[in-house]
Each structure stands twice: as C-alpha cells, then as structure tokens.
C-alpha cells in the first residue's frame, strides 16, 4: 500500500490551512474542506479527460474510416471540445412543448451523477484513491444503475415517440445487463476475496484478464451495454431512433448527456483496468501514467469496435444477456469458487495454473454455447394481429445453411413494452 489520504499533499495543506485559521475545534471542517478540495480536483480532472476523450474518439474513429476527424480548431483539432462546449452553451435552451419540464431538466444531471460517484472508489495510481471502500464492487454496480433512471426520465419527459422508444429499450436492456455485470464482478470478487478495488488490484499477481477470460468477456459485454456503446447501442441507435432518448435535447442539456456518455467510457476503462489489468501495477512507468495507458488501451478497443461492429437488435441483445452471458458468467463464478477452495494461497504460480484451467474450460464452453444459442431471426408471428389482411409474402423464412431459424419467442415478447 502506498500513501493514504492523510499523506496527500493537497489534503494536508488544505487541512492545515483551515485548522490554522479556525482553530483545533474546527477539525471536522478542515477535514471536509480537504476532502472537498480533492473531490473537486478528481471530478473536474476526470471530466476534463472525458471532454478531451471526445476529441480522441472522434479523431480515432475518423482514422478508422479513412477520414481525419475534427482538425479545424487548434493544432490537430485539439480545441474541438472547447469549441463544442462554447457552441452548446451559447445555443438556445429549448424545452419542447408538452415536455415534463422538471423531469426533462433533471435528467441530464441524474445522468452525470453516477459517473462522478463511481470515481470515489477508483484507484488511479498507487496510493491515489478517494475512498478504499470495502464494498467497492457492489458500490459500482449500484451507482451505475442510476443511469437507467436518467434515461427513463429523459424518454418519459420528452414528447417524442423516438425518445420513448429509446428509453424503453434502455430500461429493458440495462436491467438485463445488470445481472451479467454483477456476476462478472462476483467472479473477480471471489478471486480476490475482497470487494475493495484496491485489494483486487493488489491480488492480481497475474492480470485477471488472463486468469478469468470468461469473466472479462462478460464484463466487457455488460459494460458496453451499460454504456450504450457498440454493438449494444440500441438506446440511441441513430439510424433508427434519430438520437433515442436525447432526441428532444439541445444546448448544454444535450452537452451534459454527451459529457456523461464520453466520461463514462473513460471511467469504465478505469474500472476495467483496475479489475482485470492489474490497475496501476506492473509499472515500468509512473503508476498514474501506467494506469492511464491501460485506460487508453481500453478506449482504443472501444472505438475500434464502434468502427467495425453493427449493433444487435434489441431482442437479440436481451437473448444474448439471458441465454448466453448469464449462463457463462454463472459457469465462470462457479469455476472460480471451486478453484479458490483448491488453491487458498494465490501467488503468480497458482494464478497461472488457474488461468490454464479457466482457458481450457471457458473457450470450448463459450463456443459450444454460442452454437446452442441462435440469434437468427424467426419469421414474424404477429401477422395475424395485422389490421389488414396479410398476404404472407414475408411468411416463408429461409433456412440458412448451417444456422437454424429458432424462434426466440421469449425475446420477442420482451420487446412489446412500447404501449
């Protein structure tokens, strides 16, 4: 363990200043002031990184697509986020007629809240964390669920069908993906025998990405769904829903949504780095920088996937969550639990053996299971409901070579919440 909060330079100085000014009776105020100073620093710092990340994502996405991306404002377009912010702030703040004003205004704020709250438990470098919470994993799962409410609020408050569609999709999807997310966190928790992110990082003699590949896969899928990122970005789905739940937003309200979204990606990268990539450890560079590089690797992959993969349909996403990711994450958790009983001491060697076992089990399991679960589309079953006579033109499904057209009625009925 490195330094603790009391050793932090900023904290110490602010504490000493306030205590000196007000006297030792006001130690609690000094404590609060010191804490606030660090919170301000971390929250604003991460938001600044999130803002800068918008530039990174757009540039990189552009290069993936043979474009340059934003390159007008400043060198390499580096000031683009600032230009965007100025533009968004100076735009008229429109609240659509018929919108629920209070909820409509509140939604972006609620959207941003979990992003900042999660920062509390993330270890940014050796000894750099706001709180070494002993239930950090649980805290992350709980807090990130708030975003669902924000999306729901935005969709409910906007007088727009597309917004409603987007928010309904979001609720169905996010609620489903909480389960594999928590199961993936459970696997890591079992392995590290602790829910504290600091302990989890300390426990990684080998990166957990290698030790528990299945857990990492499930976590990645679940986290992309939580973040509305490709290939699970049905909530915004710009080719279908224009902008999903954000359709009616403009000006800085929209900006806050986007800020939350982009910052979320960075924060998710930080969580992934802490959970699966040894956090700040294995450092040849200063630990903060090393951590940042790992986060950068995560967001690079995220952008890469966004540039390549189309999105699933909502029912396929729900099928994937319940039929594919959930069983696999269960398998993963049980496997890890058994291994933890067999090897109570977990140094690098034991983790290596566990990794070998896990890879040997999980790769065939994932492949076999993917054969059993079909995401192929079934012919429509709603033809009979159609108000006009249905000619049956679309009724003959093709038997795809190799793939069986399995009717996934569970997923089908899950998509009928729009009324």
Partner 1 sequence: MYGAGILRGLGVTLRNLARRPFTIQYPEERVPQHPRFRGQEFTWYEQRCTGCASCAKYCPLGIIRIVTDPDGGNEQDGGSYKVDVFDIDQARCMYCGLCVEACPYDALHMGSGFEAATLRREDLVINVDMLKAREKRPSTWFRPQLERAKADPHHGDPVEWREAGREPFPWHPKRPAQTPEEMDHRASADGSYRSER
Partner 2 sequence: MTLRTEPVVVNVGPHHPSTHGVFRMKLTFDGENIIDAEPVIGYLHRGTEKLAEERQYTQVITLTDRLDYVSSMTNNQAYVLSCERLVGIEPPARGKYLRVIAAELQRVASHLIGVGFFLQELGVFGGTALMYAFRERERILDMFEMLCGARITLSYMRIGGVLQDAPEEFWPSLRSFLDDMPGYADEMQALVFESEIVRARAIGVAPVSAEDAVAASFTGPILRASGVAWDWRKAAPYDVYDQVEFEVPTCEGGDNYDRFWVRMQEVRQSLRIIEQCCAQIEPGPVRATMAMLFRPPPGEAYVPIEAPKGELGFYLVSDGSIAPYRCHVRSPSFMSLTLFREMLVGWKLADAIVTLGSLDFNMGEVDR
By CB under 8 A, what part of segment 47-76 binds partner 2?
Answer: 61, 64-67
When binding is defined by CB under 8 A, the residue of 371, 382, 392, 401 that contacts partner 1 is 371
Q: Is 24 in the site for partner 2 (CB under 8 A)?
A: no
DSSP 402: S
Q: Is 67 in the site for partner 1 (CB under 8 A)?
A: yes
CA distance 260 to 114: 9
C-alpha distances out from residue 322 to 134, 168, 173, 319, 332, Å: 29, 18, 11, 5, 15
Q: Is 401 in the site for partner 1 (CB under 8 A)?
A: no
Q: Phi and psi for 125 in degrees, rounded to 5?
A: -170, 180
Residue 97 touches which member of partner 1, partner 2, none, C-beta under 5-8 Å by kind: none
CB 207 within 8 A of CB 276: yes
Q: Is 5 in the site for partner 2 (CB under 8 A)?
A: no
Q: Is 66 in the site for partner 1 (CB under 8 A)?
A: yes
Nearer to partner 2, 193 or 416 (CB): 416
Residues 6+ apart with CB under 8 A from 259: 47, 50, 51, 112
CB of 231 to partner 1, least distance (A): 9
What's the full length of the chain, in residues?
A: 419
Angle between helices 287-308 and 251-276 (to 10 degrees): 120
Nearer to partner 1, 289 or 363 (CB): 363
Residue 230 touches which member of partner 1, partner 2, none, C-beta under 5-8 Å by kind: partner 2
Cα radius of gyration rounded to whole Å, the chain: 24
**What 3 state SS string does 155-182 have?**
HHHCCCHHHHHHHHHHHHHHHHHHHHHH
Q: Is 377 in the site for partner 1 (CB under 8 A)?
A: no
The CB-side HSE value for 383 (13 A sphere, CA atoms) comes to: 12
Residue 71 touches which member of partner 2, partner 1, none, C-beta under 5-8 Å by kind: partner 1
Q: Is 418 in the site for partner 2 (CB under 8 A)?
A: yes
Beta bridge partners of 125: 128
Nearer to partner 1, 53 or 104 (CB): 53
Q: Is 387 in the site for partner 2 (CB under 8 A)?
A: yes
When binding is defined by CB under 8 A, the residue of 68, 338, 349, 360 that contacts partner 1 is 68
The mark string for 300-319 relative to partner 1 (x by CB under 8 A, - otherwise) is ----xx-xxx----------
Nearer to partner 1, 62 or 251 (CB): 62
Nearer to partner 1, 349 or 363 (CB): 363
The mark string for 33-62 relative to partner 1 (x by CB under 8 A, - otherwise) is -----------------------------x
By CB under 8 A, what part of segment 225-244 binds partner 2?
Answer: 230-231, 233-234, 237-242
Instruction: Of 231, 237, 229, give the one whose Cα is nearest residue 168.
Output: 237
C-alpha distances out from residue 124 to 24, 74, 103, 283, 397, Å: 32, 29, 34, 13, 53
Helix then strand count (H, E) for the chain reads 17, 0
When binding is defined by CB under 8 A, the residue of 78, 171, 361, 405 that contacts partner 2 is 405
DSSP 128: B
Residues 6+ apart with CB under 8 A from 6: 12
CA distance 307 to 406: 30
Per the listing, tokens 């049980």 go with: 334
Nearer to partner 2, 261 or 350 (CB): 261
By CB under 8 A, what part of segment 280-339 binds partner 2?
Answer: 306-316
Nearer to partner 1, 143 or 299 (CB): 299
Instruction: Of 231, 301, 299, give the one whose Cα is nearest residue 56.
Output: 299
Residue 281 touches which member of partner 1, partner 2, none, C-beta under 5-8 Å by kind: none
Q: Is 383 in the site for partner 2 (CB under 8 A)?
A: yes
Positions touching partner 2 (CB under 8 A) are 61, 64-67, 161-162, 165, 169, 230-231, 233-234, 237-242, 306-316, 375-383, 385-388, 390-391, 393-394, 396-398, 400, 403, 405, 412, 415-419
Positions touching partner 1 (CB under 8 A) are 62-68, 71, 304-305, 307-309, 367, 370-371
């Amino acid at each position: 363990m490195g330094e603790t909060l009391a050793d932090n330079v900023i904290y110490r100085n602010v504490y000493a200043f306030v205590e000196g000014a007000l006297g030792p009776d006001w130690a609690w105020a000094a404590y609060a002031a010191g804490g606030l100073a660090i919170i301000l620093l971390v929250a604003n710092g991460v938001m600044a990184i999130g803002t800068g990340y918008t530039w990174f994502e757009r540039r990189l996405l552009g290069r993936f697509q043979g474009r340059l991306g934003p390159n007008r404002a400043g060198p390499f377009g580096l000031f683009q986020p600032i230009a965007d912010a100025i533009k968004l702030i100076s735009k008229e703040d429109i609240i659509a007629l018929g919108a629920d004003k209070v909820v409509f205004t509140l939604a972006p704020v609620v959207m941003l809240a979990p992003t900042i709250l999660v920062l509390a438990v993330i270890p940014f470098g050796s000894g750099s964390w706001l709180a070494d919470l002993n239930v950090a994993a649980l805290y992350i799962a709980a807090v990130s669920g708030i975003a669902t409410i924000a999306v729901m609020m935005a969709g409910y408050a906007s007088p727009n069908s597309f917004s409603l569609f987007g928010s309904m999709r979001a609720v169905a999807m996010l609620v489903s993906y909480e389960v594999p997310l928590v199961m993936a966190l459970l696997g890591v928790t079992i392995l590290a025998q602790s829910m504290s992110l600091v302990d989890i990082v300390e426990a990684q003699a080998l990166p957990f990405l290698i030790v528990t590949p299945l857990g990492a896969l499930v976590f990645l899928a679940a986290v992309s769904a939580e973040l509305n990122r490709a290939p699970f970005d049905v909530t915004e789905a710009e080719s279908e829903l224009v902008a999903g739940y954000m359709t009616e937003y403009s000006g800085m309200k929209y900006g806050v949504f986007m800020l939350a979204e982009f910052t979320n990606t960075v924060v998710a990268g930080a969580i992934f780095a802490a959970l699966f990539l040894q956090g700040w450890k294995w450092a040849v560079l200063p630990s903060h920088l090393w951590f940042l590089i790992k986060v950068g690797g995560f967001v690079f992959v995220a952008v890469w996937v966004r540039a390549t993969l189309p999105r699933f349909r909502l029912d396929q996403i729900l099928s994937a969550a319940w039929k594919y990711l959930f069983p696999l994450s269960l398998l993963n958790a049980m496997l890890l639990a058994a291994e933890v009983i067999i090897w109570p001491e977990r140094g690098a060697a034991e983790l290596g053996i566990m990794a070998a076992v896990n890879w040997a089990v999980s790769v065939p399991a994932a492949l076999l299971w993917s054969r059993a679960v079909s995401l192929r589309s079934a012919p429509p079953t709603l033809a009979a409901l159609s108000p006009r006579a249905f000619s049956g033109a679309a009724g003959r499904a093709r038997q795809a070579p190799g793939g069986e057209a399995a009717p996934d009625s569970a997923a089908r009925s899950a998509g009928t919440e729009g009324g």
